[in-house]
């Protein structure tokens, strides 16, 4: 464990001015400095897996995320909540540099993963996104077999080899592939439902099954962090319950960060909750119990009780 990780057991959350002389105005008309008075220190147990410091994101002239500093504890579930356009998905995408794919996006500040800066030249993005995987709102399996959906990633990364050449050269990893597919599908609580039809097209699965397949696909490359952007918002209550159970299981081994619009879902499944409010500010970050029983910030109280806006 690095020294920086050791020191990260004392954590705090804050947003800051972005270097301009004029203090930023928040949506409620107070300055960020004034708003800071409502933020609380949040000390979590364990180590920080990811640390964002003074993170600003701009889409062209739009300042989408304002000076967010926030640490993600390892092997736990961190929920990001807030109204549409508050910057929570933008923040999530910063954690594996998915914003790089948006040409108008500019990111200032720092994000560390296991103490290593990910916003530096020479970082291997393929490796980063393998270790910090992502699951999206709409299930997006490849139009391939269930088996191939799982083994595609490991094959691309060179972790398994089942091609003709591999067979000719005696390096056929078919057995390893079978095991990997089974492990990933079991971890994603899908194995029992699909084990007898692994060669069927994944698009024939139900929405909930497709989403669990996408989670299995993400798990197949051995990630350490799983980012989820509203993974259950397109699912019915039963499929949602399965995804929530799965997230709970995964948090024993993985660090999960989830964006959700469903406040009850955040309350049910997360260990800590970060509330972003319109304008790209992180307003409060604390244990989930605290946020939903007695938040420090009146604006957060107004938001979660539905009195906001």
Where on the chain is the footprint of other proteins (CB under 8 A)? Answer: 263-264, 267, 292-295, 301, 304-307
Shortest spacing between CB 273 and other proteins, in angstroms:
11
Written in H, E and C, the secondary structure of 63-107 is: EEEEEEEEEEECCCEEEEECCCCCCHHHHHHHCCCHHHHCCCEEE
Instruction: Say how far apart CA 13 and CA 208 lie, in whole Å.
Output: 35
Shortest spacing between CB 80 and other proteins, in angstroms:
17
Q: Which two tokens stand for residue 276?
A: 């972003």
Give whichever of 83 and 207 is closer to other proteins, judged by the CB atom. 83
Q: Where are the alpha helices (DSSP H) in the chain?
A: 3-6, 32-36, 88-94, 125-131, 146-156, 164-168, 174-187, 191-194, 207-219, 237-250, 263-269, 288-293, 298-304
Q: Which of 245, 251, 247, 296 is nearest to 275 (CA)?
A: 296
Residues with Cβ < 8 Å from 227, sequence gap 6 or more?
Answer: 92, 93, 95, 96, 132, 133, 134, 135, 257, 258
Instruction: Say how far apart CA 189 and CA 298 lie, in whole Å.
Output: 40
Q: In the block, which residue shows the tokens 């029983």?
A: 293
Give whichever of 47 and 288 is closer to other proteins, judged by the CB atom. 288
Shortest spacing between CB 303 and other proteins, in angstroms:
10
183: exposed, middle or buried (Cβ count in 10 Å: 0-12, 13-18, 19+): middle
Shortest spacing between CB 202 and other proteins, in angstroms:
35
Give whichever of 122 and 309 is closer to other proteins, judged by the CB atom. 309
Instruction: Strand 77-81: give its sheet, edge to edge.
Output: 132-135, 225-229, 255-259, 77-81, 272-277, 281-287
Give whichever of 131 and 261 is closer to other proteins, judged by the CB atom. 261
3-state secondary structure of 116: strand
Shortest spacing between CB 295 and other proteins, in angstroms:
6
Shortest spacing between CB 294 and other proteins, in angstroms:
4
Give whichever of 105 and 291 is closer to other proteins, judged by the CB atom. 291
Give whichever of 103 and 264 is closer to other proteins, judged by the CB atom. 264
Instruction: Say how far apart CA 227 and CA 95 lie, in whole Å.
Output: 8
Phi and psi at 189, nearest 5°, equal 55, 40
Shortest spacing between CB 77 and other proteins, in angstroms:
18
Give whichever of 63 and 268 is closer to other proteins, judged by the CB atom. 268
Give whichever of 285 and 292 is closer to other proteins, judged by the CB atom. 292
Shortest spacing between CB 238 and other proteins, in angstroms:
19
């Amino acid at each position: 464990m690095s020294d920086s990780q050791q020191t990260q057991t004392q954590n705090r959350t804050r947003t800051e001015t972005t270097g301009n002389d004029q203090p930023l105005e928040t949506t409620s008309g107070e300055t960020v400095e004034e708003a800071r008075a409502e933020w609380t220190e949040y000390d979590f147990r364990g180590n920080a897996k990811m640390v964002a410091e003074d993170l600003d994101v701009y889409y062209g002239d739009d300042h989408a995320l304002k000076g967010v500093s926030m640490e993600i504890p390892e092997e736990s579930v961190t929920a990001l909540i807030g109204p549409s356009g508050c910057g929570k998905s933008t923040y999530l995408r910063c954690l594996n540099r998915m914003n790089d794919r948006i040409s108008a996006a500019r990111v200032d500040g720092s994000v560390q993963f296991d103490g290593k800066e990910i916003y530096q030249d020479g970082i291997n993005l393929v490796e980063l996104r393998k270790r910090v995987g992502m699951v999206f709102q709409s299930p997006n399996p490849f139009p391939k077999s269930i088996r191939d959906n799982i083994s595609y990633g490991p094959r691309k990364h060179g972790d398994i080899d089942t091609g003709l050449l591999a067979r000719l050269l005696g390096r056929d990893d078919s057995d390893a592939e079978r095991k990997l597919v089974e492990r990933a599908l079991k971890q994603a609580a899908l194995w029992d439902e699909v084990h007898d039809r692994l060669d069927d097209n994944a698009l024939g699965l139900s929405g909930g099954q497709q989403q669990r397949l996408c989670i299995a696909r993400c798990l197949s490359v051995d990630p350490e962090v799983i980012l989820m952007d509203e993974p259950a918002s397109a699912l019915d209550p039963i499929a949602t319950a399965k995804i929530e159970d799965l997230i709970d299981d995964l948090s024993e081994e993985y660090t999960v960060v989830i964006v959700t619009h469903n406040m009850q879902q955040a309350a049910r499944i997360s260990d800590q909750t970060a509330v972003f409010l319109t304008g790209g500010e992180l307003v409060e970050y604390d244990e989930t119990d605290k946020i939903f029983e007695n938040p420090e910030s009146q604006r957060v109280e107004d938001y979660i009780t539905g009195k906001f806006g």
